[in-house]
Structure 1
C-alpha cells in the first residue's frame, strides 16, 4: 500500500447496554465501513447525522450482540466475515480466511485468526491507519471469556496481537474497562501504570466518555492477560512457578469468578 495513504476517520458508536460498533470513513472517496453490528438504530442515526452510506460491513464473530443489527443495515453494503464461520454468520458477500488481506476503503486490511472467545473469531488490522478491530478477543484491560476455545488458543491469539506496533489503536467490542481494571488491580496491584490507567478510566466513565479504543502500548503495560508472561505479574499473583500459558489460564479462571 502507498505510504502516504490518509488515515481513515474512526467513530466509536455505543450500542445496546455495553457494546461498541465502529464506523470507518474515507474522506477522499466518501465510502464508509462498519465493524460489527450490535444494534441498528444507533449506528443508522450516526450514519444519518454524518451523511454517510455503508459500503462494507466487517464482522468479527457470530455472537448475537455483534450481528443483530446487520439485516437492517446491510442495504447494498458488502458483508465480510470468516469463511470458517459462514454457517453461523448472516449471509456473507465475501468470506475471508486468516492470513489473507483485502481492500477496505482503499486500505489493506489484514485478517488475523484470534480463536478463544469463539473458535471462528477473526480480527481486522489496517496498518496504514494503525487500527485493530478485536471484537471480544483482546479487550481494554481484559480479554473475552472462553466460550468455545481453550486457554492455549486465546493465549496464542493475544501473543500474536501483542507483536503489532505499540501505537496501534485497539478497537474492542465492549465497555468492560472499569470492571476489568478492578480485576487487574487484584493480581497486579504493584503496577503504577495500571493505577494511573484505572484512575483515567474512572474519570472517563464519570464524564460519559468511552474508554475504547485503547492503545496497544497501554494494554502491554497494564492488561494482565497480555502480561501473563511477565515474571513480576506472576509473582504478584502468586503464580510465579507457572509458565506464561499456565499463568494466562489461571488468570482467566480467576476473572471468571471475580
Structure 2
C-alpha cells in the first residue's frame, strides 16, 4: 500500500493510504478537505472512507464538507464529538477495505475517545503502518488533555508496544525536533537521540517530513517509550514507570514554552480560522 503524507495547517499531517492495485484509498485525519481532494484527484484514487483519530478540529474539520459532497462516504472514529461521524468503532475492531486491513486500537488520554489505526495489506511484504494521531509522536507523545499517566503508559507500553517492531509510525504532527531536544535533556548521553536530532534538524531545514519512524526506533530515543530505563528514571527521580510517565509529561509541558504561546481555547479558535480559510466556498 502507498501512503501519501500530506502537510496541512502549521504542523499537522493527514494521510491518504492507497491500495495500488485498485486505486481505492482511505484518508486519515482529513482536516482540510480541499487539499485532500486535490491529492485524491492527482493520484487518480477512489476515496472509500475517512478514519479520524480524535475530535480536535485540526484532525476532523474536513469531515463535514466531505460527507456533504459524498453522502455515502463513511467516517469512522471512536468519539461522538467527531464531525461527520457515521460509524463508531471500538478497540480491536477490524475494518477491511479491499486488500487493506485496519485494526482499531483504543488509546484514550489526549482525548477520551482517541483511536489509533494499525494497517496492513493482504499479500504485501511492506511493513505494517500505525496512524497514531496525537497519542504517539516521533520522539514524544500527546498531552494528557482528557486523561492520565496511567492511560498513556498503557497506550504506549502495552497497546502499541504489542505491535511488530518494524511497524511504521505516521503521527499527527511535525513535532520531532522539539521532542528530541527534550529527549536530549532527559538523556544527554543517548547517542540515538543525538543522531536522530541531527537528522531531524536537517530534514526540518529542508522542509521535509520526519515521518514515518518505526516502533523499534522509538524505543531507542523516545523518553515516553523508555520509562523503564534507568537513565530516564534518574531524570524524573521516580522508579515506578507510571510515575516516570507523569513527571516526564509535566517536564515536557514546561520545556521551553514559547512566551507568546496561545492558551488552548485561543489556539483552537486560530486553527478553526485557518481551516475555514482552506475550505472552498459553498455555493
- Which TM-score applies when normalising by structure 1? 0.91
Q: Which digits, 9 at most, give the CA deviation of each residue in 1:129-177, with x for residues without a partner?
A: 5010110001111000010011111111111212211110111100011
Runs of 4+ in 1 over 3 A off after TM superposition: none
User: 1:238 offset after TM fit, Å?
Assistant: 4.7
Q: 8 Å contact 1:14–1:42 — kept in the other structure?
A: no
* Aligned residues between the structures: 246
1:246 aligns with 2:227: no
Instruction: Tell me the equivalent position of 2:217.
Output: 218
Q: 8 Å contact 2:64–2:84 — kept in the other structure?
A: no
Q: 8 Å contact 2:19–2:100 — kept in the other structure?
A: no
- Cα RMSD (Å) of the superposition? 1.4
User: 1:66 offset after TM fit, Å?
Assistant: 0.4
**Counterparts of 2:169 and 2:131, CA distance in 1:** 6
Instruction: Tell me the equivalent position of 1:3.
Output: none
Q: 8 Å contact 1:162–1:220 — kept in the other structure?
A: no
Q: Which digits, 9 at most, give the CA deviation of each residue in 1:186-217, with x for residues without a partner?
A: 11111101100000101111111101121111
**Counterparts of 1:114 and 1:77, CA distance in 2:** 25
Q: 8 Å contact 2:61–2:83 — kept in the other structure?
A: no
State which drifts further: 127-136 or 115-124.
127-136
**Counterparts of 2:30 and 2:100, CA distance in 1:** 21
Structure 1 gaps of 5+ residues are 1-7
Instruction: Tell me the equivalent position of 1:167.
Output: 166
Q: 8 Å contact 2:236–2:247 — kept in the other structure?
A: no
> SS at 2:239's partner residue?
coil
Instruction: Tell me the equivalent position of 2:124.
Output: none
**Counterparts of 1:233 and 1:105, CA distance in 2:** 43
Q: 8 Å contact 1:31–1:52 — kept in the other structure?
A: yes
1:50 aligns with 2:43: yes
State which drifts further: 107-116 or 58-67.
107-116
**Counterparts of 2:40 and 2:48, CA distance in 1:** 12
Q: Which digits, 9 at most, give the CA deviation of each residue in 1:4-47, with x for residues without a partner?
A: xxxx1101000111100010001222211100112123222212
Instruction: Tell me the equivalent position of 1:256.
Output: 253
Q: 8 Å contact 1:171–1:213 — kept in the other structure?
A: yes
